[in-house]
Structures are given as structure tokens and as C-alpha cells.
């Protein structure tokens, strides 16, 4: 695995449809070591979007999302207390967007992975809601189906879901993985009812962790799996380009990019495994410590994640 080189292709800014950008960071796949390539992140001069250029060809999906990829197996068995704390927190966050929904609301999770959020909505939401997911990865869809969730395999552009039919859609840590964010958001807009909302959560390139680690180790690069990374400005432009009304774009708390930035820094120094293991999604001490730090930063509008609420006019 280590020696494999990926097929890479040139990218452009998906918002400006141009390639007027400066390199800002270089790094490797520190988490999964799926290839020996060094990757380059660039920032668009016009809109400040950060994007991977060049990036893997879509034919490399199976390689860059290996079977042990965490989105496919975030389970209570493997993650224990982290799973339980995150579940409670996420359930509360998700339900806060559902307060005004009708009893028979239809909700879609785009990029649902193994169905973590759909399971929470099933468990804590109204029984009359119809919950569906979409994911490109067959392994993820099979896992979701095993949990009795209704999940469509494929890209939302190609699935021909009925137009004007959903009350609410979520894209939680999905947009940064996409090849074509504009096209996918447009497809989501099509299936939403008028006045329907799309809630997006993604990494924030105005966050303090980005400022510190952007040259190489920033966890949010997730090299080579995050292709488009936003701040308030670029995200606002994306929403405008697609024709959504922006209800709110704010930052929220997350320890994950802090923990992974330090993880990546340690991996690159060949630090001992026991030390590296203190900085993963299973390490409660570092997750708690950086949650506390990010709570403070979030109060200054510099939380590690962006959360946007968009509405179909």
C-alpha cells in the first residue's frame, strides 16, 4: 500500500470556475497511508476556497477510502464512551433543526455513511418522519441497510429522487469530500420543498487550528480525501451560486481537527505509537481537552467547524 502512487488530476475552484490560486499547504495521507504521494492544498485568490490540486481521480475512491475508514464503522463497540458522548451531543444538535417540522416530515441525509445520524433521528425523532440517506460507497450503504435504514446507493444527481418532496436535508461533513459541490447542492435544492432547509456542517478554514497547522499537518485537509474546504466567505458564495438563501452561517465546536493536526505532526516525526494513540478519535483525554479549548475559540467566532443553514426560496 505504502508505495502506491495515485492517479491525480488537475482541479479548479468550484465557485469561481478558475484556477487562480496560491499553494498554502503540502502533506501526505498521515491517517491511513493509502499512497506515498505528497498532496498540495491551494487557496483561491478571489473567493478564498481552499482546494486540493491536483487531486485523486474518482477511479481512486476504493484506494483512498480503505475498509477501515472511520465513517464506515463508528460503533459503540469500538469507540465506547466517545460514541456515547458524541451520540448524545449529535442527537441534540440534529433535533434542534427539526423543531418546526411537520409530524410526517421527510428528511434526507446526503453522504450518510453507515447511517450514524439517521440512527439518532430514528431513536430520538418523531415516529411519523420518513428518514432516508444517500451515499456513494457501497460498503457504507450495506452497513446502513443492516441497521434497517433506507439508504440510496449513488450520487444524488443520478438517483432521480422526487423533486420538491423533502422538508429537510443534512450534509454533515460531506461537502468537503465532493468533486462537484455546486452540482450536488443544486441536486439537493431540487428535491427540497419550497422553504425546505439544508443544514451543512464542514471544516472551517478561518479556525485557529487552520492558522497554526495549515502548512502541513492540519487535520481538516484529511489528505487526500477533502477536496474543497470553506470559510464563511467562500461558503456564502457557494450558497449564492446555487441559489439558496442563507439563513445562518456560524462556527461550532469540534476537537477533531485539533487532535488530528497533532496526530499528523507526531506521525511525521515517527513518534512512538503509544504517544500517537493519545491523539485519535478514541482518545478521550485529548478530545475533552480540545473541546474545552474550542468552546473558548467558538465564543470568538473561530470554532473548528462551520455550520450553515440554507433555505430553498
Dist CA 307 CA 287 (whole Å): 20
* Region of residue 50 (left: phi > 0; alpha: psi -120 to 50; beta: else): beta
Question: Closer CB to Zn ion, residue 21 or residue 192?
Answer: 21
Q: Which of 46, 89, 247, 296 binds Zn ion (CB under 5 A)?
A: 46
Dist CA 131 CA 123 (whole Å): 11
- Report the nearest approach of Zn ion to the CB of residue 23 (Å): 15
- Report the nearest approach of Zn ion to the CB of residue 183 (Å): 16
Question: Closer CB to Zn ion, residue 13 or residue 297?
Answer: 13
141 touches Zn ion (CB under 5 A): no
256 touches Zn ion (CB under 5 A): no
44 touches Zn ion (CB under 5 A): yes
Question: Closer CB to Zn ion, residue 25 or residue 255?
Answer: 25
Residue burial 51-65, b: 16+ Cβ < 10 Å; e: rest: bbbbbbeeebeebbb
Cα 94 to Cα 39, 56, 137, 282, distances in angstroms: 34, 32, 23, 22
* Region of residue 117 (left: phi > 0; alpha: psi -120 to 50; beta: else): alpha
- Report the nearest approach of Zn ion to the CB of residue 313 (Å): 24
- Report the nearest approach of Zn ion to the CB of residue 12 (Å): 9
Question: Closer CB to Zn ion, residue 13 or residue 41?
Answer: 13
For the beta carbon of residue 8, count every other beta carbon within 10 angstroms. 18
Q: Which of 13, 108, 140, 259 binds Zn ion (CB under 5 A)?
A: 13
Site string for Zn ion, 15-34 (x = CB under 5 A): xx------------------
Question: Closer CB to Zn ion, residue 37 or residue 206?
Answer: 206
- Report the nearest approach of Zn ion to the CB of residue 143 (Å): 36
Dist CA 126 CA 118 (whole Å): 12
Question: Closer CB to Zn ion, residue 45 or residue 160?
Answer: 45
Cα 128 to Cα 104, 121, 232, distances in angstroms: 5, 11, 35
Task: Please tell me the count of residues contacting Zn ion according to CB under 5 A.
Answer: 7
Question: Closer CB to Zn ion, residue 241 or residue 302?
Answer: 241
Q: Which of 47, 207, 229, 308 binds Zn ion (CB under 5 A)?
A: 47
Grid cell for residue 308: 450553515
Q: Alpha-carbon dihedral of residues 94, 100, 101, 102, nearest 10 degrees?
A: 150
Identify which range of 9-17, 158-166, 178-186, 286-294 contacts Zn ion by CB under 5 A: 9-17
Identify which range of 8-16, 124-132, 168-176, 209-217 contacts Zn ion by CB under 5 A: 8-16
Dist CA 266 CA 30 (whole Å): 10
Dist CA 167 CA 243 (whole Å): 17
Instruction: Report 174-233 residues binding Zn ion (CB under 5 A).
Output: none
Collect all residues with Cβ–Cβ distance below 8 Å to 102 and sequence separation of at least 6: 167
- Report the nearest approach of Zn ion to the CB of residue 11 (Å): 11
Residue ranges in contact with Zn ion by CB under 5 A: 13, 15-16, 44, 46-47, 49
Amino acid at each position: 500500500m505504502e508505495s502506491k502512487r495515485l492517479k491525480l488530476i488537475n482541479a479548479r475552484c468550484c465557485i469561481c470556475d478558475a484556477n487562480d490560486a496560491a499553494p498554502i499547504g503540502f502533506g501526505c495521507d498521515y491517517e491511513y497511508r493509502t499512497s506515498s504521494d505528497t498532496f498540495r492544498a491551494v487557496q483561491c485568490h478571489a473567493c478564498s476556497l481552499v482546494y486540493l490540486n491536483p487531486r485523486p481521480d474518482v477511479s481512486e475512491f476504493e484506494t483512498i477510502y480503505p475498509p477501515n475508514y472511520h465513517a464506515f464503522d463508528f460503533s459503540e463497540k469500538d469507540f465506547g464512551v466517545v460514541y456515547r458522548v458524541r451520540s448524545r451531543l449529535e442527537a441534540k444538535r440534529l433535533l434542534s433543526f427539526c423543531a418546526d417540522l411537520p409530524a410526517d416530515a421527510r428528511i434526507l441525509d446526503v453522504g450518510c455513511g453507515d447511517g450514524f445520524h439517521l440512527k439518532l433521528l430514528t431513536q430520538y425523532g418523531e415516529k411519523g418522519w420518513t428518514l432516508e440517506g444517500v451515499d456513494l460507497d457501497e460498503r457504507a450503504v450495506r452497513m446502513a441497510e443492516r441497521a434497517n435504514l433506507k439508504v440510496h446507493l449513488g450520487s444524488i444527481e443520478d438517483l432521480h429522487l422526487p423533486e420538491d418532496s423533502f422538508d429537510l436535508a443534512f450534509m454533515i461533513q460531506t461537502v468537503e469530500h465532493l468533486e462537484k459541490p455546486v452540482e450536488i447542492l443544486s441536486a439537493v435544492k431540487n428535491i427540497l420543498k419550497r422553504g425546505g432547509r439544508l443544514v451543512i456542517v464542514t471544516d472551517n478554514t478561518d479556525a485557529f487550528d487552520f492558522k497554526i497547522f495549515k502548512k502541513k499537518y492540519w487535520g481538516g485537509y484529511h489528505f487526500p480525501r477533502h477536496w474543497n474546504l470553506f470559510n464563511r466567505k467562500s461558503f456564502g458564495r457557494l450558497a449564492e451560486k446555487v441559489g439558496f438563501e442563507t439563513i445562518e452561517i456560524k462556527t461550532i465546536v469540534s476537537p477533531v481537527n485539533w487532535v488530528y493536526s497533532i496526530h499528523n505532526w507526531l506521525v511525521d516525526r515517527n513518534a512512538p505509537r503509544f504517544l500517537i494513540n493519545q491523539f485519535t478519535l478514541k482518545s478521550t483525554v485529548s478530545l475533552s481537552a480540545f473541546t474545552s479549548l474550542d468552546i473558548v475559540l467558538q465564543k470568538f467566532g473561530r470554532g473548528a467547524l462551520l455550520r450553515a443553514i440554507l433555505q430553498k426560496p
